[in-house]
Amino acid sequence: MFLSPKESLSERDIQKGLKIVIWDGLAAEAMTVFSSGTFLVSMALLLGADSIQIGLLAALPLATNVFQLVSVWLVGRYHNRRAVAVLCAYLARVPLLLIGFSVLLFSKLSLDLLIFMLFFHYLFGSIAGPSWNSWIKDMVPENILGEYFSRRNRYTQLVNVVLSIVLALLLDYVKSRFPDFQLMVYAIFFSVAGGVGLIGGFILSRAQEPQSYLSERNVFGLFKTPFKNPNFRKLLVFNCSWAFALNIATPFFTVFMLTTLKLSLSYVIILGVAGQMAGILTLRLWGTFSDRYSNKSIIGVAAPLYILCILAWCFVGIYSRQYANLLLLLGIHLASGFAIAGINLSLNNIGLKLAPKKDAIVYLSVKNIVVAIASSLGPLIGGLLAGYFVKRKLLMTIDWSSPIWHKTFKLLELHGWNFLFVIGAFFALLALNQLSYVKELGEIHKNTVRRIMRTTIRNNLRDYFLIGDIIAMHEQLKASVKAGRNRFKRSKSTNEQIPK
């Protein structure tokens, strides 16, 4: 059979497979840009979606992860992860083509049809996921796991950045010049997404798989195994609570910018790109520290920063001048991109690290399924809360009044979506406390990692950036001044000892 696994992989097979997986990632990322994220939200708003429907769209890719159990059953029955991953990847791309063709051929698309088709897109993608994860875990050498995936993520995010900017500019142009053709442009996007996705499936099929055999137990018996592992169970508790907390707020950032702040799609995409660039520039750093120290320590450093970024969204929109809001949004996206790059990389790696090799697909599937259930509840609850808070407002101000001047300063203004950001940050802070119970081999205290990171970043700045030269010049100036003072003191002391 064309997709049959091999008993063992040669070094040539491994090196070829590593390159193929990167190309597969590029194709998958291009498909994702064309058919999800900001563009999907913008298309849903064009079709008249409300907050609950936006929450449902955000929950779909998470809720369908429960079907990863099917992947475990298929691999257990046929012992062919490559076939499951590739064939389901093909099936996941077809609904995207159908969404695009339905508009191109019939010039209309309902929100219900969009949600229906996306359900099958995410369903087959979810089935392919665990097989792919287990397959890649056996192919990528463990000693380069962090560095390899950080490099792969850098490449995929660069594709995301370039495509996102080009497509956003195109959509804004069409919206301003030919508003009646907006839906047609989205249809082309989905058609391209499906085509690129099919090409990615073909590329992935060229990589070799080392033969593996799942434990000879029934699916439900296998499903219970990870819960019997105390340390893995603690990881599930943290991952679930963290995912739930973030998904209360994060799916609605784009809606907030498009509807409340009335930003154009180009501004939203450029801000997102700024965050992605921050992540790209720091992925190598996160990957190095992940391999050298521990994933848990990386999360302990990056997660508090991301929680502060969520809280910072509460202050967006309280300024009357648009440029002030844009500067604040830029700072939030840069800090978020830096933090989330480390968090996502570490969460993925720690799951791979704590999963026993023999039952890796079972552990990873259970992790993805359980986390998906918790994650999917987040945007659904967030959508309901947004509907509740839409007519409620909390305003905190400081009034200064004098005979000649009166000024009101806004400290905080919560309305609609902003309430979600506070609630999401609060639950994320509670979730972070669960991380301390997870044990990881070779973990180092987060304070040590934070100190080493500060030193590393400072040294890199000195070596590569102008600010490094400024720091060095400042220290040289301090040294020169100190040396001059010492010479003056020695000279004065010598003069005092000479008899007059």
289, pLDDT greater than 70: yes
* Per-residue pLDDT, 470: 37
- Residue 120's alpha-carbon distances to 28, 91, 94, 99, in angstroms, are 17, 8, 9, 11
What's the mean pLDDT when you consider all of the chain? Answer: 81
Higher pLDDT, 83 or 368: 83
pLDDT at 288: 76
- The region of weakest confidence among 101-115, 204-218, 341-355 is 204-218
**Side chain identity, residue 108:** K
**Two tokens at 365?**
């599937």
Average pLDDT estimate for 76-94: 88
* Residue 490 burial (C-beta neighbours within 10 Å; 0-12, 13-18, 19+): exposed
- Is the pLDDT at 469 greater than 60? The verdict is no
Contact 239, 38 (CB under 8 A): no
Q: Choose between 129 and 353: higher pLDDT.
A: 129
Lowest mean pLDDT among 117-131, 158-172, 244-258, 311-325: 311-325
User: What is the pLDDT, as a whole number, of residue 485?
Assistant: 56
> Is the pLDDT at 186 greater than 90, yes or no?
yes
Question: What is the SS3 assignment for 163-225?
Answer: HHHHHHHHHHHHHHHCHHHHHHHHHHHHHHHHHHHHHHHHHHCCCCCECCCCCCCCHHHHHHH
- Is the confidence at residue 465, as pLDDT, over 50? no
Q: Identify which has the larger pLDDT, 98 or 62.
A: 98
Q: Can you give the pLDDT at residue 480? A: 52
Residue 197's pLDDT band (cuts 50, 70, 90): very high
| Inter-CA distances, 250 with 154, 170, 176, Å | 22, 25, 28
- In the DSSP assignment, the letter for residue 48 is T
Identify the band that residue 333 occupies on the pLDDT scale cut at 50, 70 and 90: very high
Q: How many CB atoms sit inside 10 A of residue 98's CB? A: 16
Which tens digit of pLDDT belongs to each residue from 27-61? Answer: 999 999 999 888 999 999 888 888 888 999 989 98
Query: Which pLDDT value is given to residue 202?
Result: 92
Q: What pLDDT does residue 462 have?
A: 47
473 pLDDT tier (thresholds 50, 70, 90): very low
CA distance 174 to 372: 36
Domain spans of the chain? 11-397+414-444, 445-494
pLDDT tens, residue by residue, 398-438: 888 888 777 777 777 777 788 888 899 999 999 988 888 88
Q: Nearest 5°: phi and psi at 394?
A: -130, 125
Q: Residue 157: what pLDDT? A: 80
Its sign, for the CA torsion 285, 287, 292, 295, is positive
Report pLDDT for 117.
94
Q: Residue 184 burial by CB count (10 A; 0-12/13-18/19+): exposed, middle or buried? A: middle
Task: Judge whether residue 468 has pLDDT over 50.
Answer: no
Altogether, the residues listed in the chain come to a count of 500
What is the rounded average pLDDT of the residues 485-497? 53
pLDDT band for position 323 (cuts 50, 70, 90) = confident
pLDDT in tens, 293-309: 678 888 888 899 999 99
Tell me the average pLDDT across 94-115.
Answer: 88
Please tell me the predicted confidence (pLDDT) of residue 36. 87
Is the pLDDT at 26 greater than 90? The verdict is: yes
Distance, CA of 28 to CA of 159 (rounded, Å): 10
CA distance 120 to 94: 9
pLDDT band at 441 (very low <50, low <70, confident <90, very high): low
Residues 141-153, mean pLDDT to the nearest whole number: 78
Q: What is the pLDDT of residue 474?
A: 42
Proportion of the chain above pLDDT 70, given as a percent? 84
pLDDT of residue 191: 94
- What one-letter code names the amino acid at 81? R
pLDDT value at residue 295: 80
Q: Is 253 a residue whose pLDDT tops 80?
A: yes
Kindly state the percentage of the chain with pLDDT values over 90: 24
Give the CATH fold of the 11-397+414-444 domain.
Growth Hormone; Chain: A; (1.20.1250)
Does residue 495 carry a pLDDT above 60?
no
Burial class (CB in 10 A: 0-12, 13-18, 19+), 91: middle
Collect all residues with Cβ–Cβ distance below 8 Å to 364 and sequence separation of at least 6: 130, 133, 134, 137, 351, 352, 355
pLDDT (tens digit per residue) in 442-461: 555 555 555 545 554 455 44
Shortest CA distance to 144 belongs to which of 350, 360, 292?
292
Structure letter (DSSP) for residue 293:
S
Nearest by Cα to 379 from 55, 109, 99, 159: 55
pLDDT band at 499 (very low <50, low <70, confident <90, very high): very low
